[in-house]
Amino acid sequence: MGFSQRTAEPNLDYAIAGAASGFITRFLCQPLDVIKIRFQLQVEPISKCHISKYTSVSQAFLLILREEGVFALWKGHIPAQLLSITYGTVQFYSYHVFMKMIQRIQEIEEWNHSMHFIAGAGAGSMATIISFPFDTVRTRLVAQSSNHQVYNGVLHSCSLILRQESPKVFFSGLLPTLLQIAPHTGLQFAFYEFFTDFYKRYTSGTNINFYNSMLSGSAAGFIAKTIVYPFDLARKRLQIQGFQHGRKGFGQFFQCKGLLDCLRVTVKEEGVQGLFKGLVPSQIKAATTSALHFTVYEQVLLLLRILQ
């Protein structure tokens, strides 16, 4: 049963399933997120031929373990969990609200995948705006060196940002995030529906099962993330502006004055390939998290139906 066919479940079920999906997915995939962010914030080329702190996914993983310990791979995990639970709850809840609204427009019924794209884009935008402060705090905590810590935790980081900077810092990078997340989430849901339908067609299945969710979610996440990746990189770089003192030991600090300037400076100093720094761990993470996200969501919804 696809997203578009579900009308019987109470809206609260979508919110609960979305929250559970966000929590489990974040816990399992946080190390990939830490590595991805470290690559995104590194100005030096990701190459063994240059003096760069991180040169590959495996090298970054081992270096973080050696220099900072295993817990560094879960740096910023608490705000990341707050982000994921909030995002997952709002995303899946609002997605179904938007789908119900769109399905009332008779002229659009034949554009099935477009419906999922529009609803997904709206849901992603809503979830992003509401959960964005957690993303900024999480990025700051992941970005800082264990040897030059500025923040001691979520509350301390919020306090320092409010005292030393400004409340609007919590929303730094929101524009590139929305430019990324609206098409990204829209594409995710549209591709997920496409691949689940494709899977059912060639396996003679009628419902979405565990394997269908895993394969379809993985493919949808991989493709969607690759398409919008430069905006994700810009978001992370904008979120650390004014945070030079916490980046000691990570190499050159990246400075910019906004989205367009961020993209311009990145291309100028690092080449077009600089826009795709951290793409490989991001693709691995996107494929893994999307597979888990949709699968856990489907399974929790199924469990809630059984319990009712």
Q: For the chain, which residues make up each domain, given as ranges?
A: 3-307
DSSP the chain: --GGG--SS-HHHHHHHHHHHHHHHHHHHHHHHHHHHHHHT--S-SSTTS--S--SHHHHHHHHHHHH-GGGGGTTHHHHHHHHHHHHHHHHHHHHHHHHHHHT-GGGTT-HHHHHHHHHHHHHHHHHHHHHHHHHHHHHHHHS-TTS----SHHHHHHHHHHHS-GGGGGTTHHHHHHHHHHHHHHHHHHHHHHHHHHHHHHT-SS--HHHHHHHHHHHHHHHHHHHHHHHHHHHHHHTTT-GGG-TTS-SPP--SSHHHHHHHHHHHH-GGGGGTTHHHHHHHHHHHHHHHHHHHHHHHHHHHHH-
* pLDDT for 1: 45
Rounded Cα–Cα distance for residues 115 and 256 (Å): 37
Fold entry, domain 3-307 = Mitochondrial carrier fold (1.50.40)
Contact between residue 295 and residue 214 where contact means Cβ atoms under 8 Å apart: yes
Highest mean pLDDT among 75-79, 80-84, 237-241: 80-84
Residue 74 phi, psi (nearest 5): -115, 25
The model's pLDDT over 108-127, given as tens digits with 9 standing for 90+, comes to 666 667 888 999 999 999 99
pLDDT tens profile 34-62: 888 888 888 777 766 667 888 888 898 99
Contact 189, 116 (CB under 8 A): yes
Residue 31 clears pLDDT 60, i.e. is over it:
yes
Residue 3 pLDDT: 54
pLDDT above 90 covers a percentage of the chain that reads: 26
Query: Per-residue pLDDT averaged across 263-279, rounded?
Result: 89
Query: Model's pTM, two decimal places?
Result: 0.70
Residue 106's pLDDT band, with cuts at 50, 70 and 90, is: low
pLDDT value, residue 148: 72
| pLDDT at site 19 | 92
